[in-house]
Structure 1
Amino acid sequence: MKTAEIAKRYLDYFEKKGHTIVPSASLVSDDPTLLFTVAGMVPFIPYLSGVVPAPYPSAADVQKCIRTNDIEEVGKTPRHGTFFQMLGNWSFGDYFKEGAITFAWDLLTGSEDDGKFGFDPKDLWVTVYEDDDEAFGLWQRIAGLPDERIQRLGKDTNYWSTGVPGPAGPCSEIFFDRGPDYGIDGGPATDDDRYVEIWNLVFMQYAIHNVRSKIDFDIIGELPNKNIDTGMGLERVAFIKQGVDNMYETDQVRPVLDKAVELSGKTYGAVHEDDVRFRIVADHVRSSLMLLADGVTPSNEGRGYILRRLMRRAIRSMRLLGVEGATFPDLFTASRDAMQEAYPIVGDEYDRLSAYAYAEEQTFLRTLAAGSVILDDALALTKDAGGSRLAGDEAFLLHDTYGFPIDLTLEIAEEAGLSVDRAAFDTLMQEQRARAKADAKSRKRQLADLSVYRDFRSQGETIFTGYSDLETESRVLGLLVDGLPVTSAAVGQIAEVILAETALYAESGGQVADKGLIVGPGFELEVLDVQRPVAGLISHTVQVSSGEVGIGQAATSVVDAANRRAGQQAHSATHLVHAALRDTLGKSAAQSGSLNRAGYMRFDFRWGQALSEETKTEIEEIANNAVHDNLEVTTRVLALDDAKALGAMALFGEKYGDTVRMVDIGGPWSRELCGGTHVASSAEIGIINLVGESSVGASNRRVEALVGLDAFRSMAAERTLVSQLTTTLKTPREGLPAKIAELTANLKAAEKKIAAFESKALGDQLPALVAAANSVGEYTVVASSLGSAASADDVRAVALQVRERLGDRAAVVALGAEISGRPIVIVATNDSARRAGAKAGALVKTASAVLGGGGGGRDDVAQGGGTDVAALPAAFAAISAALEA
């Protein structure tokens, strides 16, 4: 039974049982405390917690999930996957335990001919929470299971909560027994891989408070509406129904594994370590493809970092399997072919998605090449120093700074006959993870508990009137101070205000929030921010400027009209620039993000190379021609499918409801889905002045522009600057480029002559420096300041020449100089000195400490510096003292 068929049977069954079928939410979670949708219940949290009224009494879905907290287990067990799909059925006060258990048992054990899954009841075990006698009795009655196949377990496994105050309840898990060939007898309580959990039924019936840990909290009562949250692992059911040993061998994953086998020339099933690597590749390639399909792109932070890590682990695994060249064009194509039946977007958008993957692989392959050079140098220095183990901090630097995997460091070190101080490396990694975990916890603590918005949201959605009005009379529905509900807020306090209606725009879709005021009888509030903390609710963060505001009072939201107008100009300009980009570069220049605020816009788009000056000028001209043509700006609210049929562009990765707002500028020339505010006609934008174009990651570019009066002021400032240059240089405007090029060439020539003069002057000091050599212990030492120098290279060249003239004596040369107001010191030693124990790197560190800085290098030549030029004599004295010791 194919994976897609399993999913279809599941949805068909629950649709027949009256459930609303809900499409999967994005892997990018709306929950601000989560990077990804980590479980099937995440999109339903607002309904389960009661913050937002559920739009249906019961639902079913197939939810895409990403979970990376146990990434090290991927490939090692039959069930751990980074990307996985959860089949879920949900009840929001409709049915409860009896209904959930009845549905689950019927679907699992019913005949395949009837559209069900056909599991043999004798292969299924059940666990319940140790005190849940009701669930135990229902399993006996509904499923006819004997007592020994219903196991009671504790809170750590069979009680669900979010880990914060809110809904919670006992759960019941269903396991499949794979048989004695896979482990010991004894049921799920043995925690053995023989018993695979396939379905978890959560009976969400209590409200908890004072949460001290996952298993330590206070139950404060039953929920007004008892909910059902279930999750069946699609991949787990698939590998059981397909008769394979693990999820990596199912129909949606195995093609990638097989392609990796083909590329490596190795055999799957022959060597355990290789098998783990094949499975990592299969999982991570599919996970990366699905993340890309939901708008995540590789970067060094947040979601992008997780995606980059997955891709690089796959590349590393292929490298350890003996493949050093590019593999993603083969691997990602195999994953596309396996996944597009269930998710057509991976086929429809494959050219764009794969471009990110291929670019990331090429970048990392270059990183591996550069890291190999750095590692080779580190290994050589370790050997030269007589060591047998690469320092842990060296390995960590390679991993943390250069992205060089520790597995490859271990492998290359072993080939060189060295080991790695893995304990020190692991300590540094643990410290880094601890810092990251502390940062994450801090961020989570700073977020308000969304349940505080439940009562406000229950009164209905906030009505936004700002498309047509700049002032709207309303009333205060709620107040929050420090995340807690209050009845009033006084002068000086920062508070959140919930109104029934508002003219103030909440930040979204790249458009920043409005500025403005909220005024009422006896109070005035300065609006600092406007956000949508939960779906359908607008919250205003304000500072009370005068008076006192209270619940139930009349309040008028007042938009800063000038700021709104400038913001609208920027937002509409963004649409024009997008259309101009597509006109110039083609449809593949797809939007990947934007920001609009008064007088400024930036636009990120998919493109693999910098734009030429001619292209930037063309884009700017097309956009400004659209301004000149005074195109009409119209908006329509219509069904999402109807808007797409009309060719409306949607921001990739953005979430849209069934009904959308479509903005046209000049008809179909610029037609986008957008909830922002806009000008009435394009001439109102004024001027669009492109002021920047840059890279924002692999295959992503960014253009920035000033708009309206800000664009005019920028151009006026440039005009003034040009006027000053023409006057100073006595050259007409059109001659400025040639004149500046001439001056630059003359300056470079002069600098070259000065550098040559200074270099000669330094060289002229050679005889005196050699003559000034003196004995320090068993060493012949030259220690002197050269005065000022053009570069450290000049000082280094003199030091090496002095060392050469000192012959075979144990020579140590320490020369200092002042460069751009700061001291440097170069230390050079010859073979005889090094055999006697003088190491340039150690000596330069000694000198640099006196200079108030640092340095280092090889044993033969090293460089350091600091901040105190006057300390150079003391630095030389410190070198002499070190040689005498």
Structure 2
Amino acid sequence: MKFMKTSEIRESYLGFFESKGHLRMDSFSLVPKNDKSLLLINAGMAPLKPYFTGVEEPPRRRVTTCQKCIRTGDIENVGKTSRHGTFFEMLGNFSFGDYFKNEIIPWAWEYITGVLQIPKDKLFVTIYLDDDEAYEIWTTKTDMDPNRIFRLGKEDNFWEHGSGPCGPCTEIHYNKAGVTVTTAEEFVKAGDEDKIVEFWNLVFTQFDGDGKGNYERLANPNIDTGMGLERMATIMQGVDNIFEIDIVKDILQGVCGIVGKEYGKDKNTDISLRIITDHVKSVSMMLCDGVQPSNEGRGYVLRRLLRRAARHGRLLGVKDEFLYKVVDFVIDNYGDAYPALHQKADYIKKIVTLEEKRFNETIDSGMDILKEYIEEAVKENKTVLEGEKAFKLYDTYGFPLELTEEILEEKSITVDIEEFNKNMKDQRERARAARGESSYMGADEVPLNKIDASITTKFDGYNNTTLKSNILVIVTDEEERTALTSGETGYVFTETTPFYAEMGGQVGDTGLILTETAKVKVTNCKKNVGGKIAHYVEVLEGSIAVGETVELKVCEKKRKNVCKNHTATHMLQEALREVLGEHVHQSGSYVDEERLRFDFTHFSALSKEEIEKAEIIVNEKIMDVFDVVTNVMTIEEAKKSGAMALFDDKYSEEVRVVSVGDFSKELCGGTHVRNSGEIGLFKIISESGVAAGVRRIEALTGFGAIHYVESKNKELKEISSILKCSESDVIKKIEQQSNELKIKEKEIIELKNKLASGAEEDILNNIKEVEGIKVLSAALKDIDGNALRDLCDKMRDKIGSGVVVLGSEVSGKVNFVAMASKDTLPKGIHCGKIIKEVATIAGGSGGGRPDMAQAGGKDAEKLECAMENVFEIVKKLVK
């Protein structure tokens, strides 16, 4: 057995199966397409489900891939064990109704023993209990020792995931400890002890299961295999840990250099170093594929991984942002296999930095909350922190449970783990309920999504908006139909169509389907999960039937407006790259007949000048009346020509490249104007943030832009009329009135402050003594925040030693201020705690330091009640 780098193993596998007639496909994005059953791609076969189910035709019947995967089910074990990681690469070869067991078993043996040269006496094989066919092939078509083949049950050697395609599997294992096993029981025990490791699973997908134990044999069985690249690398490199293989070890050593720690010296330090290594690798891959940090779904997975990595940095003594430096090591080791990492390096590092900074701020807030929990527990002589509170720290502030336990341990306090786990379980159930029950593909099992894979529709709508074609299939939400009659709705599939199906951010066309006796309204046009073009229809008159020739007519007015907005979107991206820099890339878009929306990577809000500059560039290019030219070329030719593409999109061998003169060039399957002059006018109406590092611009074109400018002009006329000035003097008039208002407001505040000062003696009449401490509490009216603080300060000075709490109602809202003299603090006085309870009574919140705090309230009617409670609140605090 020879030493092989991870990259060499990857290439040898893909090359081997290419030699067996397989199409090598690039890794799909980590973000599933048309699959609601997954948040993130977690296996090599996951992106290929449509080919296995028959809803989509594969590019070839034999395919091989190295697929990026993310799994977080065992996240708590990452860094603690030798084999758990959240990001991994899955090598796979697949047959969609082509070859089966007779081919894959000998090929697998040839690759393992011939290409990788793994000694045969180091290998074991398991098969499904009843799979005599697999046993016969292993013993007759390979020279595998029959004594090293073990039959195991359904739990080990039958692949099944809910309902859908399933079947028995055979697994190939490596005897890394050199143990001797002669029975299935001994084999399983050695596997549990990690002395024997499984590295390749060959799944024979030969049944369609209903999820209830009933199976129907598939007419065309499939092959789905999966080999963990990292696990294979540990075998070929003679190491016992996925963190010690070449490409991962290099990242880990980089982390060591950044944080100033040595690997292998301390168990807990090693765990933190491995977690940082793994999680930053996963985060980099997810960001590269378009996942954005958020508080739900896959964005939450990303944020959670990043925060765990940052937290372990803190455990290693790193206080400042550092994870962006680790990204460089990830790119150095994975950039050759996944070039988009190089292209998006700056973007990835910027988002990582922003998120880590946000986390550092959040965790500091969480630490303040935890300190309050500890103070309360100590005061009440509690030795157990409520699980609900520990979960709030975990869920809201990113505090892992072990960090909370570690800090509490210093005070001899433990966490109610049972209650914490209950909160965690409830959250997971809420998340599961939000996702809903899903089928194999996570899509609705309706007739629309069950159209035979052989049915295809040719789109011929780039230059046509009207054509004739035959109806191939009609379905409703309930069943497949031969016809639809007046008043009915359904979905129509034709041989050819001029209707553009919603895709790439562009909405679907609408229009009519006509015969001599029927009139059918097309309300939308979309693709089903198998990529078939479906016309969403409502029959207005007559009836239509399968096999009938019909005339399809696209609504030209809507199409033209959509085209204007779509071409303008391309031009906007290029203008933004000119104004902001080459880091700008499309992160999402939406184009309909009314407006365009463009999401793009950038790290700060655009200035007024930047927006104006981008708008001017687009309008200049519109007025240049550039021809919009479409060329069909290979994906390689497109890239060499400098055409912009979406990093996380899969493209066929031939692509459409849309060029707006020599200004903009992009890969795009949508519809466009013939020349930029048709757009007429371009107007940006808003710019905002939608996620960390992602901005959004909304804009109008053509008559939409003209109407918008006219409406603004009309508003200006109305404003000038109200202000009784000319349009050119509106700003000057508003500034004049604003200055006058500020002067008057200042006068009002001064008068209120004088009134407040005059009422000082009345306020001092509210002093009571509580447990030997003077406490002043008073409810006031129309004293604003600043004046209230000044008054509170004066009252504290006047009483000398004690506590002053004042509340004031201004325009229906309540402000509270509390101040205490220094000598009262050792007695238990804490203004932050006082004000928090007082504000809660008035429907508000707030806090602050022991000697000074302020808060707000929403319920002005509870002001008197809140102030009356001050004395009881103080009494509870006094030691």
Change (3 A) 1:5 1:513: same
Residue 809 of structure 2: aligned partner:
818
Amino acid corresponding to residue 12 of structure 1 in structure 2 = G
Contact 1:462 1:536 (C-alpha < 8 Å) held by counterparts: no
The aligned counterpart of 1:172 is 170
Whether 2:33 is the aligned partner of 1:30: answer: yes
Aligned partner (choices 669, 679, 689) of residue 675 of structure 1: 669
Match of 2:43 in 1: 39
- How far 1:641 sits from its partner (Å)? 1.5
Superposed counterparts of 1:462-501, under 5 Å:
462-482=457-477, 485-486=480-481, 495-501=490-496
Matched, 1:14 2:5: no
- Structure 2 equivalent of residue 721 of structure 1: 715
User: Which is further off, 550-559 or 242-251?
Assistant: 550-559
Contact preservation (8 Å) 1:607, 1:701: yes
Aligned pair in 2 of structure 1 residues 868, 581: CA closer, same or farther (>3 Å)?
closer
Question: What's 2:566 paired with?
Answer: 571
Q: Is it true that 1:89 corresponds to 2:87 in the alignment?
A: no
Please point out which of 722, 729, 739 is paired with 2:733: 739
Q: CA deviation at 1:452?
A: 4.7
Aligned-partner Cα distance in 2 for 1:38–1:709: 47
Equivalent in 613, 618, 632 of residue 623 of structure 1? 618
* CA RMSD between the two structures: 3.7
TM-aligned CA deviation for residue 257 of structure 1: 0.9
The one of 59, 62, 66 aligned to 1:62: 66
> What is the identity, as a one-letter code, of the residue corresponding to 1:295?
G
> When the two structures are superposed, what TM-score results if normalisation uses the length of structure 2?
0.89
* Match of residue 198 from structure 1: 199
Relative to structure 1, the CA distance from residue 181 to residue 755 in structure 2 (aligned partners, 3 Å threshold; closer, same or farther) is farther
Q: How many percent of aligned residue pairs carry the same amino acid?
A: 38
Provide the rounded CA distance (Å) in 1 between the counterparts of 2:449 and 2:778: 76
Displacement after TM superposition at 1:91 (Å): 1.9
Shift of 1:848: 6.6
Equivalent pair of 2:720/2:726 in contact (CA under 8 Å): yes
Structure 2 CA distance for aligned equivalents of residues 759 and 21 of structure 1? 79
Q: Contact (CA 8 Å) 1:182, 1:194: kept in 2 or not? A: no
- Partner of residue 541, structure 1: 536
Q: Aligned AA for 1:3?
A: T
Shift of 1:239: 0.6
1:114-144 deviation digits (Å, cap 9, x = unpaired): xx01111222111111221222232233344
- Which residue of the partner structure matches residue 590 of structure 1? 585
Q: Which 10-residue stretch deviates more, 356-365 or 128-137?
A: 356-365
- Mapped partners of 1:28, 1:431: distance in 2: 26
Following superposition of structure 1 onto structure 2, how do residues 605-644 of structure 1 map, counting pairs within 5 Å?
605-644=600-639
How far apart, CA to CA, are the structure 1 residues paired with 2:145 and 2:597? 65
Deviates more, 1:866-875 or 1:621-630: 866-875
CA distance in 1, matches of 2:678, 2:258: 58
Deviations 1:227-254 (A, max 9, x none): 1111111111111010011111111111
Equivalent residue letter for 2:119: D
**Cα contact 1:389–1:419 (8 A) shared by 2:** yes
Alignment of 1:126-205 (within 5 A): 126-164=125-163, 166-179=164-177, 186-188=186-188, 190-205=191-206
Query: Can you list the C-alpha shifts for 1:764-785, whole angstroms capped at 9, x where unaligned?
Result: 2221132355789999776654
Question: Is 1:855–1:862's contact at 8 Å kept on the other side of the alignment?
Answer: no
Displacement of 1:170:
0.8
Structure 2: distance between partners of 1:873 and 1:318? 49
C-alpha offsets along residues 133-185 of structure 1, whole Å, 9 cap, x if unaligned? 22223223334445553222222222123322x32111111111111689999
How many residue pairs get aligned? The number is 868
Partner residue in 2 for 1:401:
396
Give me the whole-angstrom Cα distance separating, in 1, the residues matched to 2:875 and 2:394. 39
Change (3 A) 1:88 1:745: same
Q: Which protein, 1 or 2, shows the higher relative CO under an 8 Å CA cutoff with sep ≥ 6?
A: 2
Deviation at 1:83, TM superposition (A): 1.8
| Deviation at residue 375 of structure 1 after TM alignment | 4.6
**For 1:441-493, what per-residue CA distance to the aligned partner results, in whole angstroms no more than 9, with x for missing partners?**
35779954468567634343222222122233334433444465455566666
**1:240 paired residue among 235, 252, 264:** 235
Could you tell me how far 1:366 is from its partner in structure 2? 4.1
- Answer yes or no: is the 8 Å Cα contact 1:827–1:862 preserved in 2: yes
Cα distance in 1 for partners of 2:700, 2:181 equals 67
Q: Distance in 1 between matches of 2:439 and 2:705?
A: 40
- Distance (Å, rounded) in 2 between the aligned partners of 1:584 and 1:727: 38
The answer as to whether partners of 1:601 and 1:704 remain within 8 angstroms in 2 is: yes
Counterpart CA distance in 2 for 1:671 and 1:384 is: 68
Q: What does residue range 259-408 of structure 1 map to in structure 2 within 5 Å? A: 259-372=254-367, 375-376=370-371, 379=374, 392-408=387-403
Cα distance in 2, alignment partners of residues 839 and 286 from structure 1: 46
TM-score (norm 1): 0.88
Residue 802 of structure 1, CA deviation: 4.7
Once the two structures are TM-superposed, the CA of residue 760 in structure 1 deviates from its matched residue by 2.9
Report the Cα offset of residue 188 of structure 1: 3.6
Question: Is there any run of 5+ residues in structure 2 with no aligned partner, and where?
Answer: none
Contact 2:49 2:441 in 1 (8 A): no
Change (3 A) 1:798 1:585: closer
Q: Secondary structure at the match of 2:638?
A: helix
Q: Which residue of 1 aligns with 2:116?
A: 117
Task: Tell me which of 74, 78, 81 is aligned to 2:82.
Answer: 78
- Structure 1 stretches lacking a partner, 5+ long: 111-115
1:398: how far off? 3.9
Q: 1:445 to 1:59 in 2, by over 3 A?
A: closer
The amino acid that maps onto 2:658 is V
- Cα pair 1:320 1:408 within 8 Å, conserved: no
Q: Give the match's secondary structure for 2:59.
A: coil
Deviates more, 1:392-401 or 1:11-20: 392-401
Deviation at 1:24, TM superposition (A): 2.3
Q: Does 1:758 align with 2:752?
A: yes
Q: CA deviation at 1:574?
A: 1.0
384 and 556 in structure 1: CA distance in 2 versus 1, 3 angstrom threshold: farther
Query: What letter is aligned with 1:751?
Result: E
* Letter of the structure 2 residue corresponding to residue 700 of structure 1: V
- Aligned: 1:98 with 2:102: yes
Structure 1: how far apart are the matches of 2:445 and 2:72?
A: 25
**Does structure 2 conserve the Cα–Cα contact (< 8 Å) formed by 1:260 and 1:318?**
no
Report the residue type matching 1:21 in the other structure.
Answer: R
Aligned counterparts of 2:822 and 2:727: Cα–Cα separation in 1: 62
Residue equivalent to 2:687 = 693
Residue 441 (structure 1) aligned to one of 417, 436, 441: 436
Deviation at 1:572, TM superposition (A): 1.0
Higher mean C-alpha deviation, range 613-622 or range 297-306: 297-306
Give the Å deviation of 1:543.
4.7
Q: Does the CA contact (< 8 Å) of 1:481 and 1:495 recur in 2?
A: yes
Q: Distance in 2 between matches of 1:724 and 1:162?
A: 65
* 2:53 aligned residue: 49
On the 8 A contact 2:307/2:359 being kept in 1, the answer is: yes
CA–CA distance in structure 2, aligned partners of residues 870 and 322 of structure 1: 50
Q: 1:610, CA displacement in angstroms?
A: 3.1
SS in 2 for 1:152: strand
Q: Is the 8 A contact 2:836 2:847 kept in 1?
A: no
- Residues 780 and 258 (structure 1), Cα distance of their counterparts in 2 relative to 1, 3 Å cut: closer
Q: Which moved more, 1:130-139 or 1:251-260?
A: 130-139
Question: Structure 2 vs 1, CA of residues 584 and 459 (structure 1 numbering), >3 Å: closer, same or farther?
Answer: same
Residue 105 of structure 1: CA displacement? 1.3
Does the C-alpha gap of structure 1 residues 610 and 2 become closer, same or farther in structure 2, counting only changes over 3 Å?
Answer: same
Which has the higher mean CA deviation after the structures are superposed, 91-100 or 515-524? 515-524
Cα distance in 1, alignment partners of residues 34 and 511 from structure 2: 28
Distance in 1 (CA, whole Å) between partners of 2:299 and 2:597 is: 20
Q: Is the 8 A contact 2:449 2:529 kept in 1?
A: no
